[in-house]
Homo-oligomer: A and B are copies of this chain.
Amino acid sequence: MIAPVVAVDRQGPDPLHKQIYDGFRTAIVLGNLRPGQRVPSSRSLGEELKISRLPVLNAYGQLTAEGYFESRTGAGTFVSESLPESLTICKQTPPPAASISSGPRPIARRSLLLPEYQRPLWAGGWGAFSLHQPAFDHFPFPIWSGLLMRHSRSPRWGAIHNVDPLGSETFRQAICDYLRTARAVRCEPGQVMVVSGSQHALEISARVLLGKGSAIWMEEPGYWLARKVFSGAGCRMVPVPVDEEGLMVSAGIKRCPAARAVYVTPSHQYPLGATMSAARRMQLLNWAQSAGSWIIEDDYDSEYRFESAPISSLQGLDGNERVIYIGTFSKVLFPSLRLGYLVIPRDLVGHFSAVRSAMDIFPPYLYQEAITDFMREGHFARHIRKMRLLYGERRTALVDSLRERLGAKVKVHGAQAGMHLAITLPEGFSDLEVANRAAGKGLWLWPLSPSYLGKSPRQGLILGFGNTAVEEMPRAVSQLRAMLER
């Protein structure tokens, strides 16, 4: 049991038992010790405070007599469940945060660039259509937990001592092997940095590459969480429209030819789902080289293509090391793992490492060890293959249900890959209104319009299908239809 902070001073004016009594009384009044909480035995507190047991016994006696403590036979001494009312009131009503006292409370100007955090209503829960949700119940948790066991019961000392800001060397080697083969990424382990997800990768990239006022092309519509990073960094975000071939590079060149960087999701454009064509990829790489710009390639959802073979990454097509490549384990494993990686142009590794080291020093060891084995022993490839089939079926079930139950009312976008698709709504609908209303009924629909930077966004919904079984799809789509009927 944790001993409470009780200051005793042998040279103090008060006798020790009085000091102990006061210490406990104050802790209870301030709410540091709470009703029902156990306190140490008089013997162990005496040891802790390096004093004899007698004054402790004395103080405990008085605290019990006055109703602060109660002893339960065989169980020990506790703070009373029924404390004098005056105390309880004081404890239960701390002054509200708004009343925090006088005096200036200045915060940084750049922190005002981000609005105070508030979770949108429609992001409140999970279930059919929730975004970014893999099929948790198909993940091989027993295998996974066996690997965690292997590396936590008797850890490799080299792993537990590793403090490299890039992460574990063996893990980075496994990531390289995977990326070279599956994504044609050109990399060596010395360029790979293990981070806690793609958001962290974006944050580090922005810190190294972008300053206040730096212009960056953003896909329009695009990924709202990426926008948080760039707006928090004070960048000037230039919306560049997307079509069925992905980012419209010539529109970008027209609007802002000298942007410092571009943020792009070429495998499965978020949220509309286009795959960037080979021609656009070459055009983007050529522009970046001639403009001296950086390409931040967020290659999420590259694992799950349903119709065609995957297209190699932008990074692999680039001969000038202008691409910062970002990947995540959130889709293949699960998001609450918080693990992803960056592939960094070689001349920037020292800068990326400096920023990472200042930000959170290095990544935790255990997941790195476990995923290395998960990859090396074939579980990773096997799970991807299995999930590609599963998500393909769920996708088909959703598209069929939408056609059947909503027909011409909605248009489906981007169902060729990944774990979500988008639908656009007919004239007259407000997606925010639909999403908020649906959230009230426990149906989590993400509105499309907040994905737009510019005015007059399209109205639509982004529907996740990763964690919804084929047989549940018709019922879920009926619920969705009900939301669109009212």
Q: What residues make up the interface of A, taking CB atoms closer than 8 Å to B?
A: 1-8, 27, 30-34, 37, 48-50, 94, 97-98, 100-101, 103-111, 114-118, 123, 126, 133, 136, 141-142, 144-145, 148-149, 152-155, 157, 159-163, 165, 177-178, 180-186, 188, 195-197, 199-200, 203, 207-211, 214, 225, 228-229, 232, 260, 289-290, 292, 307-312, 316, 319-321, 334-339, 345-351, 353-367, 378, 380-381, 384
Contact = CB atoms under 8 A, between A and B. Distances in A.
A154 B181 contact: no
9 contacts: A2-B181, A5-B184, A5-B309, A32-B185, A106-B260, A107-B209, A114-B351, A160-B336, A203-B358
Contacts of A177: 34, 37
A5 B181 CA distance: 6
Top 5 nearest A-B pairs (CB, nearest first) are A116-B350, A117-B353, A97-B346, A104-B292, A145-B152
A359 B203 contact: yes
Interface centre among A152, A203, A307 (most CB of B within 10 A): A152
A95 to B, nearest CB: 9
A467 to B, nearest CB: 10
A336 B365 contact: yes
A126 B163 CA distance: 11
B355 A210 contact: no
Contacts of A384: 2
A203 B115 CA distance: 18
Given A110-B207, A152-B148, A105 B2 contact: no
B309 A8 contact: yes
Contacts of A148: 145, 148-149, 152, 366
Nearest to A133: B161
B309 A180 contact: no
A118 B118 CA distance: 39
Nearest to A191: B97
